[in-house]
Chain A
Amino acid sequence: MTLILILILVALIAYAILIYNRLISQIETIRNNQKQIDIQLDRRFKVFESLINVVKKYMDYEKTTLKDVVALRNQAQEAKAAGNEKERIEAENKISGIASNLNVVFEQYPDLKANQNCLQLQEEIVSTENKLAYAKQSYNDSIETYNANKKSFPPSLVVSTFRSKLDFDFPYWQLSEQKIAEQESYTVKL
């Protein structure tokens, strides 16, 4: 009989230790996930800064060439309308010249074709914003797990015994009331 009582006692203590350790690891997960938001904010700043620098350099070149191409195209069309074939061909040839010139440049920087550039930029921006959002989601998820565990029945007994070590009130990541109202009424103005 005493053996059974001792066994039950040992099992209860083991269970309490299990709950204690689980809660501790859940608390640390929340702390880590909270810092993950900072990490992603920091990353976003650095990524966007370097992106803007890269884009500035190459977009300048492409912007001027694009202007040239559009101007030449108009010239050619006007010439065509006026029936001036010679001027038209001249303009078209110049466009071809720019195009092959561009191709040479692109060959040297295969990754920097204008549309590819934009797509890559777009992808990088989307991914960076997603990572930040998912970091916040993950933070909130870990709080949910911890709170649910802490408030459920047998664990709540363990929590009340070790209140200073196990009982924390982590706020969920959320927008302020004012900000929510602002974002709600936001529409894209083109």
Chain B
Amino acid sequence: MQNKPFGELVTTTTDWRKTLRQNHSRTFIIIALFFLIYCAIGLIVDLYLYAGSYPDASLSDLFIALLSFQLFPIATLIMLAIASISLFICYILYDKLMLLGTNYHEITPQSAQNLTEKQLYNVVEEMKIAAGLRYMPKVFIIDADYMNAFASGYSEKSAMVAITRGLMTKLNRDELQAVMAHELSHIRHLDIKLTLTASLLANLTIIVLDILFYNAIFSGRRRTNNRQSLTAIIILLRYMLPIISVLLLLYLSRTRELMADAGSVQLMRTNEPLASALLKIHDDYNQHQDEYRAALTATAHEQIRREAYLYDPTMAGISSLSSINDLFSTHPSLETRLAALGFKIDRKI
């Protein structure tokens, strides 16, 4: 969609309650799936181990024995323990990661240097009241010209929102408010916690599967029939599961973006400012592609923030990251987002 000029917005209707409800259940399904996949892999490890010690038992017998705890599913439990410890460490360190590599400073009512900064703080505070959050999130400004914003934090207490100077100066008050409402909705919906938990589970699954894969292929131990059929499953899973995980993660991330958009409408009770802010950002990226590409490439650790951003720079054809992930977007397309907000793009002009 490079340099494609967008037409005029045509209002249709929007039902943010429905959007929130739909995506809420989608999220539940995805997270449950991730958890089930993780446990299933754990059980396969257990099956593989016990298949070695009980060569005569059939796989289904072993499986039932594991589920009914007649055989202790030790690998599954160890894997669950590892997952909870790594999640815990991640929760502690994550907030410090998000601003890595950028020039930023915090805004407080006392330290606001000019009217726009004061306005930004006010807007966030207004949205905090509307959202009924208990703590005022920290507000950061990133000194960069490109237009973007993101939220982070595992709980209301440690929450923060960050916005680039470009976005702050180019949007009007209402649009700024809509963007901040979107970010506060991410905090309200605990999105950061959710996406990180999912991707951590996905990564751990793949690591365990990898270890099992090499073990199954190169182990010199005696091969039983059971182990051979398990090896076939493991090989299949090793190539299938990473793709499934990535697709699920992207689906989750898009779902949460749509939910945050709906949350923004819920807080402001109007859908127009967010739509016009998104269009403005999109046009701005298309106009300044080269500068922004340079700026984003020069900023270290951009990929950490990619999922959290309000607007994915790759949408405008800017991909500073040379990974296969760029082929899939973490964000729904602009048309989808506008449609969910209740706007259609009229391309006739």
Contact = CB atoms under 8 A, between A and B. Distances in A.
Same assembly: yes
Interface of A: 29, 33, 36, 40, 116, 119-120, 123, 126-127, 130-131, 134-135, 137-138, 141-142
Contact of A127 (B126, B130, B267, B269): B126
A134 B126 contact: yes
A123 B129 CA distance: 17
Interface in B119-138: 119, 122-123, 125-127, 129-132
17 contacts: A29-B132, A33-B132, A36-B129, A116-B115, A120-B115, A123-B122, A126-B173, A127-B119, A127-B122, A127-B123, A131-B126, A131-B129, A134-B130, A138-B129, A138-B131, A138-B132, A141-B266
B115 A142 contact: no
A135 B115 contact: no
Interface of B: 115, 118-119, 122-123, 125-127, 129-132, 173, 266-267, 269
Nearest to A142: B132
Nearest to B121: A127
A135 B131 CA distance: 9
Contacts of A138: 129-132
Given A138-B131, A141-B132, A123 B126 contact: no
Nearest to A129: B126
A142 B269 CA distance: 15
A130 B181 CA distance: 14
A7 to B, nearest CB: 15
In the A-B complex, the 4 residue pairs with the closest CB atoms: A134-B130, A127-B122, A134-B129, A138-B132
Contacts of A137: 130, 269
Contacts of A33: 132
Contacts of A29: 132
A119 B115 contact: yes
A131 B125 contact: yes
A123 B127 contact: no
Contacts, number: 38
A135 B129 contact: yes
Nearest to B122: A127
A36 B127 CA distance: 14
B178 to A, nearest CB: 13
A119 B116 CA distance: 10
A140 to B, nearest CB: 11
B174 to A, nearest CB: 10
B319 to A, nearest CB: 38
Nearest to B132: A138
Nearest to B125: A131
A123 B132 contact: no
A149 to B, nearest CB: 14
Contacts of B123: 127
A134 B115 CA distance: 22
Contacts of B125: 127, 131
Contact of A120 (B118, B127, B266, B267): B118
Most buried by A among B115, B118, B129: B129
A116 B173 CA distance: 16
Nearest to A144: B17
Contacts of B126: 127, 130-131, 134
A108 to B, nearest CB: 18
Nearest to B133: A138
A123 to B, nearest CB: 6
A133 B115 CA distance: 22
A138 B126 CA distance: 11
A69 to B, nearest CB: 24
Contacts of A141: 132, 266
A119 B122 CA distance: 14
B93 to A, nearest CB: 30
Given A131-B125, A131-B126, A134-B126, A123 B115 contact: yes
A134 B127 contact: yes
A40 B128 CA distance: 13
Given A33-B132, A40-B129, A120-B118, 15 more contacts: A36-B129, A119-B115, A123-B122, A127-B119, A127-B122, A127-B123, A127-B125, A131-B125, A134-B127, A134-B129, A134-B130, A134-B267, A137-B269, A138-B130, A138-B131
